[in-house]
A and B are shown apart, each in its own frame.
Chain A
Amino acid sequence: MHHETSPDEWRSWLRLCGPRFRLYARQQTRTDQDAEDVLQEALVESWRREGAVPPDALVFATIRRRAIDLARSNESRGEREMVAGKPEVEWFAPDVEERETQRLLEDAVKSLQPGYREVVTLKVWGGLTFQEIADVTGVPLNTAASRYRYALEDLRANLKGVLR
């Protein structure tokens, strides 16, 4: 059943879940601006569809679909101009104590194949099960699990000596 979204409820949900949704949206789009557009549309659409707090898997799936739609739309009318001079939004909250390690880890995550990175993001920061990841990304369950395993292996190889 649906109920009226109170401003507090909406704000709390945004504060709690917004960062991981935005992280995924950022990975699915070319620019921060696109990510914000996709994020807003997906959050509102998911909430409307569910009539209440939507399950995370639904929001991730909606973000993914919206990002694909936007990419197709951008392709059809030419590339969207990049915003010059605007610093890229950080993917992760800065860790003061292990800033260097975090930077290396973030770079390693960014350098993963998109398919691997998507699974890692949904698994680690999205909190989804492999079954949910398979549903969101449209790949078989075993493929989702394999991609996660390969991603960890790639990260392990790239970060050899960095992490104890």
Chain B
Amino acid sequence: MNVRDPMDPMDPAEDPIADALYKLRPAALESPLMVRLTAARPRGAELRERVSWREVLLRWLMPAATGACAAVVVFAILENRRMRDVQNPVERRGALVGEGAMSAGVEAGDLLPVESADYLLSVRPMGIMVAPDHRPYRIMDVEWIEHETVRMCADGTEFHTATVRRDVIPVALELY
């Protein structure tokens, strides 16, 4: 304790006041205080606090930060695509069809249905018949035209097809 400090203006041994001060010894800790402080000894788990913070940092915060960064990147990409889609919707729709077809394992030369619609052309009654359950049915001849739009996977060229379809359907009659 009595080590000479370069900044110390005088050697304690040469100064009676400093010498007297250095001879004074702080009072020892009383037994009750010693017992209390002994009981307060930091345990291993408490000492690991500082290390556990590092573990928390490595185990949770860094992965969370990485995940957050990845989420931001994905969001930026999606937002960028959305903006492009808004600016050029037709081109984007074609691209989406192509992407979906590729992911479904469709060959580039295949045709993909894009849109279909059925239009009723005519309904013609053909007659009335009685079913085995003794209920009357009117037989109708219904004619439809099916419009279908397909697109080539390779270059996005669209084709329109029109097919006539005829259905013969029984319509139950109610008797009053």
Question: For A43, what are the chain B residues with a Cβ–Cβ distance below 8 Å?
Answer: 37, 40
Alpha-carbon separation in the docked complex, A93 to B44 (Å)? 34
Q: With an 8 A cutoff between CB atoms, is A64 at the interface?
A: no
Q: Which chain B residues numbered 27 to 61 have a C-beta less than 8 Å away from chain A? A: 27-30, 33-34, 36-38, 40-44, 46-51
Q: With an 8 A cutoff between CB atoms, is A81 at the interface?
A: no
Q: Is the CB of B44 within 8 A of A20?
A: no
Q: Is the CB of A159 within 8 A of B27?
A: no
Alpha-carbon separation in the docked complex, A39 to B46 (Å)? 18
Q: With an 8 A cutoff between CB atoms, is B8 at the interface?
A: yes
Smallest CB–CB gap between A138 and chain B, Å?
Answer: 17
SS class of chain A's interface: helix, strand, loop or mixed?
helix
Interface size class, chain A: 35 or more
Question: For A123, what are the chain B residues with a Cβ–Cβ distance below 8 Å?
Answer: 5, 8
Q: Is the CB of A51 within 8 A of B37?
A: no
Alpha-carbon separation in the docked complex, A81 to B89 (Å)? 79
Interface size class, chain B: 35 or more
Alpha-carbon separation in the docked complex, A2 to B51 (Å)? 9
Q: Is the CB of B27 within 8 A of A92?
A: yes
Q: Is the CB of B49 within 8 A of A36?
A: no
With A23-B27, A127-B3, A152-B18 as known contacts, state yes or no: A40 contacts B41, CB within 8 Å: no
Alpha-carbon separation in the docked complex, A71 to B20 (Å)? 32
Q: With an 8 A cutoff between CB atoms, is A44 at the interface?
A: yes
Alpha-carbon separation in the docked complex, A14 to B34 (Å)? 8
By a beta-carbon cutoff of 8 Å, the part of chain B in contact with chain A is 1, 3, 5, 7-9, 15-18, 20-30, 33-34, 36-38, 40-44, 46-51
Please give 10 more A-B residue pairs, beta carbons under 8 A apart, in addition to A89-B27, A91-B27: A5-B41, A5-B43, A10-B38, A10-B42, A15-B29, A44-B42, A93-B24, A120-B21, A148-B9, A163-B16
24 examples of A-B residue contacts, CB within 8 angstroms: A2-B50, A5-B44, A5-B47, A22-B26, A22-B33, A23-B26, A36-B36, A39-B33, A40-B36, A40-B40, A51-B51, A89-B30, A92-B25, A105-B20, A120-B21, A123-B5, A124-B1, A124-B21, A124-B22, A125-B25, A127-B3, A152-B15, A152-B18, A163-B17
